[in-house]
Amino acid sequence: MMPDGSHGELRLCQRLALDDAEARALLEAMRAGSSSRSAVVLTPKAPPDYVPPFPCEDMSAVSWLPPRVFVPQAGKGISRPTAYEDYRNGLYYMLDLSSCWESAALAQVSPPARSLDLCAAPGGKSMLMAARYLPQNHTANEVNAARRGILRQNMELCGVPDVTVTGLRPDQWAASGERFDLLLVDAPCSGQSLLCKGIRNPGCLGSAMVNGNAKRQKGILLAAVQCADPGAHLLYSTCTYDPDENEKVMAYILRRVPGWEAVEVPSLASFRSRLADFAAYRLYPHHGFGAGGFCCLLRKND
């Protein structure tokens, strides 16, 4: 029997086609608000043999974990990772472990010659890309001026090389004639996973917010695909659960724009979405790796 919940909660569980146990686990996580798990990604400033100055979990069995990422141990009576001098000096960057999961698909991508993070602030996805392969010519873009300032500060503090911070709208990028062989679209979304972190997010389960974000996401992606060279990859990710902002957005792009295909990510096989007939992946909070998210890697055929 489906657990009791608000109209928005039950609507979400039904749209996700969750069985009773999965629905109960998701609702409990949303109400508890304690699913966030910190991760630290080492920056280009950190030496190759650098180890964070606090106890970290053994994550060697987690095949999808990106390189140069550590997970601090909880409940060890240590200071918060942000309290250390190394953090203030930019040797590592803090983010939720689920953000690291979303970037795991980059293991299927060769080091790009030119890359664009289209919705980059505050910089987590660019930082995870830099941990995997130092960018040769990377653009971190953010249209919001205040958030762009934070993005620029993070890129400078953490020593990401060969990066240009810009503030163009997606349609301006589409009209610019610029072409890239890797595009990151960590799209603005309803942010339903914020509830699992204990962060209030009024309206995030309502159809108005979900539909508005889905429309915006499609517009961003329709612009982004125009910036891709043949053979380019595009990694789409969100921190929300609703299929209208995830699988349905990807299905729309694959149907609307010829020449693109979804790429299988072997390390994420156990997270394969049941809501798509192409390779797309879901992380839920009850999986134990943070508040959850969605990712799908697309490739433009030569």
Residue 105: CA count within 13 A, CB half-sphere: 31
Contact 134, 109 (CB under 8 A): no
Of the residues 196, 239, 295, 296, only one is catalytic, namely 239
C-alpha 30/C-alpha 233 separation (Å) is 33
The helix or strand, by DSSP H or E, that contains position 156, with its residue range, turns out to be helix 145-157
CA 127, distance to chain mean position in Å, is 11
Alpha-carbon separation of residue 123 from 14, 76, 199, 259 (angstroms):
34, 28, 20, 29
CB 163 within 8 A of CB 131: no
Catalytic residue flag (residue 227): no
Peptide bond preceding 122: is omega within 30 degrees of 0, i.e. cis? yes
User: Where in the sequence numbering do the catalytic residues fall?
Assistant: 239
